Amino acid sequence: MDGTVNDRRQFEERDTREETRSQISGMRHRAEQKAEDAATQARGRAEDQASRQKDRAAGQLHSISSALRETSASLHDQEQDAVAGIMENAATQVERLSGYLGSRTVSELVDEAQDFARREPALFLGGAFLLGLVGARFMKSSDRHHDRQRQEDAGYRRSYRAERMDWDQPAATT
């Protein structure tokens, strides 16, 4: 009888181990699936955000090309045809870039950038460096503008408070 009890106990322990392994495997599979779903959702949100930014950039470039064309027309009116021609050429190039961005998906742009980086690594790195410099300059300029605006706002508030304090003080009688 002891042998039968031991056999049954070993069989039950083996069943329990297999069931535990199966449960752990199922939990691992569900965790992997949830992680994959979260990654897919995050990728989708990032692609949507990048697409909106791309569309915004294309729109801004279109506005810039329109401003360049208006400047060119104004320069023509002032009989500065050489500079007007340069402005018109710049407007055309900016308009082409705007159309290019607007007609491509983000993944197409990334693929094209990767292909270009493989074909012309030095030119790609040089362009990325220059773009970084321009971006840093823009950010620095933007920070200065915001700092100046904050200082002007703070100065206005100090001036306003000082005026209020003058009004709140009773007039001195002599």
The answer on 99 and 128 residing in a single domain is no
Confirm if 73 and 88 have CB atoms less than 8 A apart. Answer: no
The answer on 88 and 24 residing in a single domain is yes
The per-residue pLDDT for 158 is: 61
The per-residue pLDDT for 4 is: 76
The answer on 45 and 112 residing in a single domain is yes
Domain count, the chain: 2
> Stretch 67-86: mean pLDDT, rounded?
92
The answer on 124 and 104 residing in a single domain is no
Distance (Å) of CA 40 to CA 32, 108, 119, 167: 12, 19, 30, 63
Residue 174, in any domain of the structure: no
The answer on 134 and 95 residing in a single domain is no
Instruction: Tell me which of 64 and 12 has the higher pLDDT.
Output: 64
The per-residue pLDDT for 3 is: 62
136-147: pLDDT as tens digits: 887 887 776 666
The answer on 163 and 99 residing in a single domain is no
Lookup result for tokens 């915004």: 56
Residue 80, in any domain of the structure: yes
The answer on 146 and 110 residing in a single domain is no
Residue 111, in any domain of the structure: yes
Per-residue pLDDT at 165 exceeds 60: no
> Stretch 118-138: mean pLDDT, rounded?
91
Residue 88, in any domain of the structure: yes
Q: 11 lies in which domain range?
A: 2-119
- pTM of the full predicted structure? 0.56
